[in-house]
Amino acid sequence: MKKFTFVFLTFLISFIFIFFDFFDFLDNTVNAAETTPFNTFAMSVDGFWVYTRQAYNPADIITHPQMNTPQDLFIDINNYLYIADSGGRIFVFDENQNFVTIVGEDDLSNPTGVSVDNYGNIFVADGDFVKMFSPFTDGGEFVNSFGRPDSVLFGTTEPFRPLKLDVNPHGIIFIAGEAAHNGLIMLNQDGEFLGYFGANQVNLTLFQTLQNIFTPRDQRQFLNVPLPPTNLAIDTRGTVFTVSQGLVGDTLKKLNVSGNNIAGTIATSSDTIDIALANHGGFFTIDTQGTIIEFNSEGLPIFAFGITDPAVQRMGVFLMPTAIVQDANSNIFVADSVAGFVHIFVPTDFASSVHTAMAYFDLGMYVESMAYWNEVLRFHSGFSLANMAIGQARFLQEDFNAARDSFFVAGYRNGYSEAFWELRNEWMLLHAGPLAMGFIAFWFMLKGFNTVRLKSENTAVSKPSKFKTLLREISHAKKVLTNPPDAFYEIRFHKKASVLSATVIYIVLLLAYLLSLIGRGFIFEQMFFFFSVPMMLLMFAGVVALFVVINYLVATINEGEGSLKNVYICTAYTSVPFILFAVPAVILSQILTLNESFLFDFVVQVSVIWSLVLVFLMVKELHDYEIGATVKNLILTVFVSTVLVITVFVMYLLVEQLFTFLQNIFLEFAARI
């Protein structure tokens, strides 16, 4: 009976688990069908992309029986969508994505770019020409065609093949042309050349720079020409944004009236192909991989989403994206030249909440924006931009403590530093008097302690012990700091230090190093992809052993006189400056702001440089070298250590591959038996 009961209960429990797993499977299947075909990411506290809620969902596509390969998109002031199709047409759709008309069917051959001015005039980049059409409401008739400018300023060998274009509020046409290395080409609406704008800079390597300096101009091979801008967008104020595909670092630029980049370095891929202005004052970019990144007005990334899959033709999945634009309703349109249609993405409630909060914040309505930012945090509690904005709002309300907490969650060091500055000033005003009295009392207490210690040392009968001997050996570090040559000489010949005292110093050095890594304040803390104490111990022991052994071996070959034991002991004592400055550096990192970071950097740099100087003096004195031989010894030590590390790493990879190979053979053999 008991056996039957056990079996029955086991069967019942198994059935319940299977039952619920089945419904979980159905639920997951339904949810998977409802989700978008791509993930959405937001910037994390540490500056990495992390998963977040969907910001945009694919909603529909725009197509037409005559649409072949859409190359460019434009939204006019009336929210009409223009699609430049390389089949030789400009398609026009209204704000509800209803087809309106076709422009230029008999006058265009291969349009790759389209733009519309404030009066509805349509400009098209078509082969070797820029063609102008009247507004589609007036029939979209052909008006004019601009070919290669005949101006001397344009140049005699410069090509003129417009690819993309846009018109600023003053009617000036800016053209991104093929091989237009001098920048954007500017024309007026009569086709007259006005000049170049926003050329990229040439970044030569050191070798190329030296080659150009010492080579006659007519024989130079490394006069690199800058990459041309490949796409552009112009906002309602006339600010020009350019995209230069293939340019690393400054792929996207925001140009002032002088053509200089005022946006700094924006985190975009070098494969970025288009930029679209956003309703909230920011912008969107899209790259060849189909990744769409939304930025705010300050160039900070908000969302990233999108995907390409050449094997799948599905709404929201790109085959070959070519252009992106946003309409007045915050819908995003992406042209797909291979699929032959335009994708439409609509913002989710999450994205709409973010945009509303950003709108209030940009208008200076910081208090009002907090309610919307809190709504955003209900969607995603770790949303960095929301925490940053809430911190700024609280800072303006002089709630510095809450602002500091928000900035900490957002990972915004500048804001955290400013809030901490205010809090520190308040604390100093309240505690300046007691703090000064405490320092004075501490000083007198120290003086009294030293007096008592000296008297006790003079009257007490000292008994030699291992502990006192160890303390005396460690205290030899004082002489290492004040008179390094004599200190190392005494270690070598008078045994003023031992392996035990050196080992103790190594242990203290390790603790000081760990403290300097994990004990820093938020403003000065370092980012780590991983942190493992056993790994740090292994690395520390490996570095010490590598330097000591290699330095001894190099010195043996080069007539050095120091023993392995002496190298081990003296190397420990060279780290004393770093040990002494570790705690003050950590304390400073807790009380300083970014404006005073030079003090923290100074302390750290002094400790490192001082220790390196002691290493140099240690090698010189220990091996009885001259300066030249000392430099040679250290260079060889570093070189041999590097080669050894690389060799071990390569051997590890080979052994790992061999193990994987043997494992696969064993699995194959086992499967065939």
Phi-psi region of 330 (alpha: psi -120 to 50; beta: other; left: phi over 0): left
pLDDT at position 126 is 96
Strand partners, 556: none
Kindly report, residue by residue over 155-170, the tens digit of the pLDDT.
888 899 999 999 999 9
pLDDT score of 249? 80
Q: Dmax of the chain from CA atoms?
A: 112
**How far is residue 101's CA from residue 135's CA, in Å, rounded to a whole number?**
11
The pTM score is: 0.73
Quick one: tokens of 351?
Answer: 């994205």
Provide the strand spans (E) within 188-269.
193-197, 231-234, 240-243, 252-255
Report which residue type is found at 219.
Q
Q: Is the Cβ–Cβ distance between 224 and 204 less than 8 Å? A: yes
Q: What is the structure's pLDDT at 158?
A: 87
Show Cβ contacts of residue 302 under 8 Å, excluding neighbours closer than 6 positions: 42, 43, 55, 282, 294, 295, 296, 354, 385
Positions of the chain with pLDDT under 50: 1-34, 222, 460-461, 529
pLDDT at 536: 80
Measured between alpha carbons, how far is 199 from 184 in angstroms, rounded to an integer? 7
> SS3 for 349-411, per residue?
HHHHHHHHHHHHHHCCCHHHHHHHHHHHHHHCCCCHHHHHHHHHHHHHCCCHHHHHHHHHHHC
Q: Are 367 and 397 in contact (CB under 8 A)?
A: yes
Name which of 70, 171, 97 is nearest 331 in CA terms: 97
Rg (CA), the chain: 35
Report the amino acid identity of residue 7.
V
The residue behind tokens 């819908």 is 331
From residue 570, how far is each of 413, 415, 620, 627, 640 by CA, in Å? Answer: 40, 45, 12, 18, 20
Please classify residue 569 by burial: count the beta carbons closer than 10 Å to its beta carbon, then call 0-12 exposed, 13-18 middle and 19+ buried.
buried
Quote the CA–CA distance of 632 and 627 in Å, as a whole number: 9
Helix axes 413-459, 384-396, angle to 10 degrees: 80
Q: What are the distances in angstroms from CA 494 to CA 283, 473, 475, 476, 498?
A: 72, 11, 15, 12, 11
Return d(Cα 222, Cα 212) in angstroms, integer.
7
Angstrom distance (rounded) from CA 354 to CA 361: 10
**Whole-number Å distance between alpha carbons of 505 and 226:** 55
Q: Which two tokens stand for residue 416?
A: 């955290």
pLDDT for res 340: 93
Q: How far apart are CA 488 and CA 621, in angstroms?
A: 7
